[in-house]
């Protein structure tokens, strides 16, 4: 029986050939392929301006800087995400203000968000968790009332939509990820959808040491930026992946529909919110019934691995990590995120997966739970 990863990128021969062409061209750093990738992404989000960089982490930090976030500011965000969502706030000298999440959508609780806005709040930083969009109408209504910038962490949500509007086609600053485990990849990479040419110039300077090129032989350094420009090698992969993104996402939706359809009605595992056709399903992560099991999550993962099935964890609640405990957060501050962080397991989901493999995962997960019931 083959080993089943929890995710796997699909790279076709045409994309591999495009990378070879770049390698043979002699131009490996940012060049014509980066410009082509940015143009294709701009078309994908309805003609808005897009700039790419080496990761979504860099994209989030740059976007917050462009939004004016700096020392002593506050940014409202979620504790249920990869740690970089909050890390970039700290790196700018600001402070994250966490708001708990919904148990099933895993998205930030908009009912609780507005009460956390204070005089130092500069921006809102929601996450479209697993590809399921936050309610953008409510989010932006809150932002307008309080004159706040919005940086959307859409690392999971390339190809997702909200009420028929593609994520990135509207809104303020929107950040995507092209990490290998995302719905499309450039090896490593990220992007920012921005509002105008001025913001695009700021992003270009932030991603390349604060540099502005002047004429044929001149340059100026406006601030100490980072080194986060994407290579043409990565861009060539991204171009090929973007061409197939809608195909990939359609297959993900089909696989997830099979998960839901074949999931036992009496299952003790709690499924995530199903969403609608706008959900791009970056990952599929039910919750384990640990309070009714004799084993912990690590042992569940080991037993799944013994059956040839890899399982991930997405994510531990950010405020329970050491860096954030040192800043004063503690267990009990955000109980829903903490429960998700304890119980979540990420099951296999990728375009090359078969419907039979979905059934294999379902059977294995429920067999492990059944044999370990307390």
Q: How far apart are CA 63 and CA 155, in angstroms?
A: 13
Q: Is 8 a catalytic residue?
A: no
The CA-CA-CA angle for residues 75, 77, 79, to 5°, reads 135
Q: List the catalytic residue out of 8, 182, 227, 326.
A: 182
Tokens 């148990």 correspond to what residue? 103
Q: How far apart are CA 51 and CA 194, in angstroms?
A: 8
Cis omega (within 30 of 0) on the bond before 323?
A: no
User: In this structure, are residues 154 and 132 in contact, taking their beta carbons and an 8 Å threshold?
Assistant: no
Q: How far apart are CA 75 and CA 374, in angstroms?
A: 42
Q: How far apart are CA 1 and CA 71, in angstroms?
A: 54
Q: How far apart are CA 275 and CA 277, in angstroms?
A: 7
Residues 6+ apart with CB under 8 A from 217: none
From residue 197, give the alpha-carbon distance in Å to each of 50, 203, 204, 224: 10, 10, 10, 21
Distance of CA 217 to the CA centre of its chain: 39
Active site residues: 182
């Amino acid at each position: 029986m083959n080993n089943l990863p929890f995710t796997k990128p699909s790279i076709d021969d045409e994309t591999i050939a495009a990378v070879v062409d770049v390698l043979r061209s002699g131009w490996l750093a940012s060049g014509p392929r980066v410009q082509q990738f940015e143009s294709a992404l701009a078309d994908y989000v309805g003609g808005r301006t897009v700039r790419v960089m080496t990761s979504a982490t860099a994209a989030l930090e740059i976007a917050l800087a462009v939004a004016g976030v700096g020392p002593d500011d506050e940014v409202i965000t979620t504790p249920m995400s990869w740690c970089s969502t909050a890390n970039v706030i700290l790196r700018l000298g600001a402070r994250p203000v966490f708001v708990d999440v919904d148990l099933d959508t895993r998205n930030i609780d908009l009912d609780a968000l507005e009460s956390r806005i204070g005089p130092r709040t500069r921006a809102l930083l929601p996450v479209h968790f697993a590809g399921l969009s936050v309610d953008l109408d409510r989010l932006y209504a809150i932002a307008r009332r309080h004159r706040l910038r919005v940086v959307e962490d859409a690392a999971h949500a390339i190809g997702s939509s909200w009420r028929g509007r593609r994520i990135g086609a509207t809104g303020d600053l929107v950040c995507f990820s092209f990490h290998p485990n995302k719905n499309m990849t450039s090896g490593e990479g990220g992007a920012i959808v921005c509002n105008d040419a001025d913001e695009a110039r700021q992003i270009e300077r932030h991603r390349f040491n604060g540099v502005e090129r002047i004429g044929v032989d001149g340059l100026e350094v406006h601030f100490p930026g980072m080194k986060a420009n994407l290579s043409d090698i990565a861009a060539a992969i991204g171009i090929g992946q973007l061409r197939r993104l809608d195909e990939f996402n359609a297959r993900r939706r089909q696989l997830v529909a099979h998960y839901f359809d074949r999931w036992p009605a009496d299952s003790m595992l709690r499924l995530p919110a199903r969403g609608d056709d706008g959900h791009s399903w970056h990952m599929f992560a039910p919750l384990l019934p640990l309070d009714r099991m004799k084993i912990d999550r690590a042992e569940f993962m080991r037993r799944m691995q013994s059956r040839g099935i890899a399982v991930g964890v997405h994510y531990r609640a950010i405020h329970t990590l050491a860096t954030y405990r040192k800043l004063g957060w503690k267990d009990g501050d955000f109980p829903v995120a903490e429960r998700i962080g304890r119980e979540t397991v990420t099951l296999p989901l990728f375009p090359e997966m078969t419907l039979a493999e979905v059934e294999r995962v379902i059977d294995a997960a429920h067999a492990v739970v059944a044999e370990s019931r307390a």
